[in-house]
Amino acid sequence: MKIESFRLKLLNILKIYDIKLMIENAIKNKIIDKAYELGFQKIGFANADFYSEDRENIYKWIENNYHAEMEWINKRKEERTNIFEYFPEVQTVISFGYNYYTGKGSSEISEDYKFSNYAWGDDYHIIIKKYLFNMIEFMQSILGEFKYRVCVDTSPVMEKKWAMRSGIGWIGKNTNLITRDYGSWLFLGEILIDKKVEPDQFFDNDLCGTCTACIDDCPTEALIEPYILDSSKCISYLTIEHRGKIPNDKADKIDNWIYGCDVCQEVCPWNIKFANKTEDLHFYPRSQIKERNKIEDWNINRQEFNKIFKKSPVKRTKYEGFKRNVEMVK
């Protein structure tokens, strides 16, 4: 009798556990469905945890001065390498991927200059953050109130690492997150919550294989070895983050880029084969960009710069930086 009673109790416990798991999976699936409804192509869940290799890698990267003049990376390295330093209550990191590829290359905008794909339209920080807050509103309607952080690029969160841990893709030799079905043309965002959600499997396959196209084709040899970027040599860094004059030995290799650089993405086989055009018109080239075919068309004053690039990521380089880039390409 005692054995039978124990067996019945155990079955009841397992039944309760199964019901609880079913409810949790149903809630998770609702969150996933809402993400797709809002236009996200990718979503994944990861348990918040501390990874000592993250700290070791970024400390070494900073020690080698590969962060160049981006002192904000160094200042918040403790938070960046330990998510609990940034948000102590975090239990789950939800990663999102949003396709921004417009199906056009720089040469289709102009043969006279090059302009990074991600900056042709509206500022993704604003757009993606808006979508993520819509996610928060929905999640609170099914989970109740909870503590959270919304992150889009500017937070001290290693977004590519968390996207990998949530199963979205792998970090390629060009240091970008790459996915099987969208390549690397994805904006990343995160929602950190103080609730536990069943995690997805790590994406632990490196599908770059023996390919070194990104390393071989980088105009400035900024990819000094697979998975390691020296920012001080990177055209994106030089034309966006760097302040002041660009050294002549690097300016000679800018290759007509006046804002950012897409070379390591354009030559990636995963992008060549699997890139999909976005349906979000926010990220298509603004008319003020498309109508400027010649580099001379960018002889603009500060007022024109502010008008053309209102709510655009190009504001990051400031008028002085943009003017410098244009003069360098002339």
Residues that are catalytic: 153
d(CA 14, CA 154) in angstroms, rounded, equals 44
d(CA 321, CA 54) in angstroms, rounded, equals 32
d(CA 12, CA 14) in angstroms, rounded, equals 5
d(CA 166, CA 45) in angstroms, rounded, equals 5
Phi, psi of 126 (to 5 degrees): -70, -50
| Cβ–Cβ under 8 Å, residues 161 and 82 | no
Place of tokens 């209102």: 310
Residues written for the chain = 330
Residues 6 or more apart whose CB falls under 8 angstroms from that of 168 comprise 42, 43, 44, 95, 97, 177, 179, 203
Nearest to 329 by CA among 289, 284, 294: 294
Chain-centre distance of CA 314, in angstroms? 17
d(CA 320, CA 299) in angstroms, rounded, equals 12
Token duo for residue 168: 């979205």
Concatenating the DSSP letter of every residue in 73-87 gives: HHHTHHHHH-HHHH-
Nearest to 103 by CA among 22, 187, 216, 182: 182
